[in-house]
C-alpha cells in the first residue's frame, strides 16, 4: 500500500503542528460574566468578574482529591458527604468516586439528611443570615450585611445550594480549616476542589449528608 502523502505545504504543516501549543497557551478572558443571587434584592443579577485580579487566588486542598473505589447504592452524579471522615464523594458511576477533603459543621451545627441541589453560583455574594449576625455580634464581631464575590469572601469561588435550606457546599478563604468541624453547618471545600465539583454536578442532583 502506498504511503499517505500530505498535500499541505511544509509551511502550513508547521502552523498546524503548532496549533495545540498555541491553544494551550491562550490566556483566560480578562473578565467573566457570572449570574449571582442578590439576597437583599431577592433576585438574580449579572455581574462581571475580573479574572486577572483573581488569577492564582484559588487555594489548594491540604489533601489532594483522588479517585477511590465505590460500590455503594447511589448512582452516578450523587454527592455523598461523610461528616465523620470529613470527606465528600462524587459518584463517578464506573465503580469509582472522586474523594475530597472538606470542613463540616462544628458541635451544635452538624446535620444529616438528603437534599437536592437547588442552584449554583460562581464567586457568590455572601449575605450572612440574621441569626449568624446576632451570634457573632454577641462575640464582638460585626459581620457585613453583604460581601461581593472574591477570594476574601467566606463562600470562596463557588457555592452549591442545598434545597431551600441555608446550607451550601462552597469554597473557603480559610483552607487551613479543611478536615475539621468548624462551620455553621455548611460544607467547606478548597476553592480548586469546589470549582471541579461545581462543573460536575447539576441542579437537581442528590446530596446525601451522613
Q: Cβ(178)–Cβ(172) under 8 Å?
A: yes
Q: Across the strands, what pairs with 147? A: 126
Active-site pick, 186, 189, 194, 207: 186
Instruction: State which H helix or E strand residue 158 sits in.
Output: strand 158-162
Q: Are strands 104-105 and 181-183 parallel, antiparallel or unpaired?
A: parallel
Active-site pick, 78, 170, 187, 209: 170
Q: Reply yes or no on whether 170 is catalytic.
A: yes
Helices and strands counted in the chain (H then E)? 4, 13
Q: How far is the C-alpha of 125 from the C-alpha of 146, rounded, in Å?
A: 7
| Active site residues per annotation | 170, 186
Amino acid at each position: 500500500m502506498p504511503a499517505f502523502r500530505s498535500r499541505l505545504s511544509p509551511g502550513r504543516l508547521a502552523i498546524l503542528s503548532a496549533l495545540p501549543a498555541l491553544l494551550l497557551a491562550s490566556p483566560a478572558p480578562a473578565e467573566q460574566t457570572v449570574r449571582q443571587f442578590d439576597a437583599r434584592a431577592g433576585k438574580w443579577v449579572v455581574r462581571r468578574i475580573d479574572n486577572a485580579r483573581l488569577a492564582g487566588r484559588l487555594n489548594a486542598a491540604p489533601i489532594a482529591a483522588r479517585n477511590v473505589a465505590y460500590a455503594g447504592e447511589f448512582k452516578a452524579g450523587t454527592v455523598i458527604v461523610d461528616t465523620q471522615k470529613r470527606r465528600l464523594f462524587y459518584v463517578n458511576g464506573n465503580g469509582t468516586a472522586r474523594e475530597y477533603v472538606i470542613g463540616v459543621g462544628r458541635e451544635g451545627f452538624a446535620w444529616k439528611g438528603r437534599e437536592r441541589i437547588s442552584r449554583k453560583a460562581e464567586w457568590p455574594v455572601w449575605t450572612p443570615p440574621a441569626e449568624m449576625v446576632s451570634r457573632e455580634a454577641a462575640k464582638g464581631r460585626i459581620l457585613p450585611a453583604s460581601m461581593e464575590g472574591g477570594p476574601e469572601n467566606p463562600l470562596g469561588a463557588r457555592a452549591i445550594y442545598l434545597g431551600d435550606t441555608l446550607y451550601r457546599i462552597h469554597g473557603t478563604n480559610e483552607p487551613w480549616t479543611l478536615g475539621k468541624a468548624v462551620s455553621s453547618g455548611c460544607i467547606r471545600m478548597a476553592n480548586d476542589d469546589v470549582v471541579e465539583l461545581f462543573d460536575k454536578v447539576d441542579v437537581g442532583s442528590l446530596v446525601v449528608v451522613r
